[in-house]
């Protein structure tokens, strides 16, 4: 039986201590450069290392505030992992396409899958818009053609 490991890369600097949580909120709602010295995507690096030790692969879904650094891209390639979009703004196809193209430009790869950030009608930040259509939100990873 195959197991698919999905990693939603939600917080650029993690949640603890409070300074890293604050940096994550600012990076999500405003803009911050990628500051490796403050722990940019440190938790993801640890996860990719653990997966590498086990010979396991994963699908990592990145938000616009967690775009992968060159170091992360190298780890993803070395481990045979896949990259997907963790969509924040699903108000229209145009907003979806903007986020998709941003990730494709950053990674230099065609992105073939996406997942929706958040659930239900809750708003998790300035750029997060939960609704995808009149019937509700999309759940789970989706494949792009």
d(CA 103, CA 125): 19
Q: One digit per residue, pLDDT tens: the chain, 145 residues? A: 778 899 999 999 998 899 999 999 899 888 889 999 999 999 999 999 999 999 999 999 999 999 999 999 999 999 999 999 999 988 889 999 999 999 999 999 999 999 988 765 655 565 656 555 544 444 445 556 5
Q: Report the pLDDT value the prediction gives residue 140, as an integer from 0 to 100.
A: 47
Q: Report the pLDDT value the prediction gives residue 141, as an integer from 0 to 100.
A: 52
d(CA 84, CA 61): 4
Tell which residue, 120, 134, 125, has the closest CA to residue 88.
125
pTM for this structure? 0.83
The structure tokens 């990873």 sit at 141
Instruction: Provide the strand spans (E) within the chain.
Output: 5-9, 58-62, 82-87, 113-116, 142-143
């Amino acid at each position: 039986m195959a197991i698919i490991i999905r990693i939603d890369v939600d917080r650029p600097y993690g949640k603890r201590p409070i300074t890293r949580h604050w940096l994550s909120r600012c990076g999500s709602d405003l803009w911050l450069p990628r500051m490796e010295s403050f722990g940019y995507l440190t938790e993801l690096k640890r996860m990719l290392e653990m997966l590498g030790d086990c010979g396991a692969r994963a699908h990592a879904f990145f938000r616009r505030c967690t775009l992968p650094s060159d170091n992360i891209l190298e780890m993803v390639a070395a481990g045979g992992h896949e990259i997907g979009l963790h969509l924040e703004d699903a108000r229209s196809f145009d907003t979806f396409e903007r986020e998709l193209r941003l990730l494709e430009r950053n990674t230099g790869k065609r992105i073939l899958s996406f997942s929706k950030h958040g659930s239900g009608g809750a708003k998790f930040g300035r750029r997060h818009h939960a609704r995808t259509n009149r019937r509700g939100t999309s759940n789970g990873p989706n494949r792009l053609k």
